[in-house]
Amino acid sequence: MSTLARRAVAEAVGTGLLVTSVIGSGIMAQRLSPGDAGLQLLENSTATAFALTALILIMGPVSGAHFNPVVSLADWLLSRRTGDGLTGRALLAYLPAQVAGALGGAVLAHLMFELPAVTASTHQRTGTGLWLGEIVATAGLIALIFALARTGRAALAPPAVGAYIGAAYWFTSSTSFANPAVTLGRTLTDTFAGIAPASAPGFIAAQLAGAGLGLALIRLLYPQASPLTVADPERLATTART
């Protein structure tokens, strides 16, 4: 298997297991705490934060552990100036892998809990307040990831990103999807974590806007070229050999 193919597999598996953790913990929360939405959200957010931290630790050395199309897009855009991030070829491999992984992760969560493999969500999530929440959540995520990268602290990304997403479940109105692939995966579940397919475009548009805002903030606060990180392991290996 080529290096790029192995990295795409890591992105697919990592994104899939992230969606499995989001949906699976939501199903478990509904069963353990019926009628208590606050406790369900606490259980769901805690499991997701811990799972995301673990998945970044597992997949980070292989693919950079993006698990998120807007992170990959932001990395590619920044690399066009600095030359040390994700390549265009890698971007084209990452994006479909992340989406496919997210869809598969929803199916896996359902099968583990003996539910139909796919149940289209009827949970409407729409309105300016929720879209603003997604802009804030995504902008903060992008700013966090690339601030760590540009200051040589990428090793802190697993706990920092996990903690941020866990917290953003609570301080954003949208419960912080902040990820187009995860959003698409969550359209396939009519459970606690679901989002109706008709609501997904608004969330994804807000996430893209948030990513742009996060990038603008990074360019303002950290205008210097970023140090080499694990964002593109193949490019790092090539650089090390020269």
Q: What is the CATH topology of the domain spanning 3-227?
A: Glycerol uptake facilitator protein (1.20.1080)
Query: For residues 63 and 33, what is the distance between their CA atoms, to the nearest angstrom?
Result: 37
Give the pLDDT of residue 182. 98
- pLDDT tens digits, residue range 97-156? 999 999 999 999 999 999 999 999 999 999 999 999 999 999 999 999 999 999 999 999
pLDDT of the residue at 109: 98
Contacts of 65 (CB under 8 A, 6+ apart): 10, 14, 55, 56, 58, 59, 157, 158
Residue 221 CA to residue 232 CA, distance in Å, equals 23
φ and ψ at 178, to 5 degrees?
55, 30
pLDDT at residue 228 greater than cutoff 60: no
The pLDDT tens digits for 62-71 are 999 999 999 9
Model pLDDT for residues 180-202, shown as the tens digit of each residue: 999 999 999 999 999 999 999 99
Would you tell me the crossing angle of helices 37-63 and 233-241 to the nearest 10 degrees?
30
Check residue 225 and give its pLDDT: 56
Q: Going by C-beta distance under 8 Å and a sequence separation of 6 or more, which residues neighbour residue 153?
A: none
DSSP string, 77-119: HHHHHHSSS--HHHHHHHHHHHHHHHHHHHHHHHHHTT--S--
Q: What is the spatial distance between Cα 190 and Cα 194, in angstroms, rounded to a whole number?
A: 5
C-alpha distances in Å from residue 55, one per residue of 50, 183, 202, 234 = 9, 18, 27, 20
Q: What is the DSSP letter of 64?
A: -
pLDDT at position 238: 37
How many helices (H) and strands (E) in the chain?
9, 0
| CA angle at 16 for the pair 215 and 89, rounded to the nearest 5° | 50
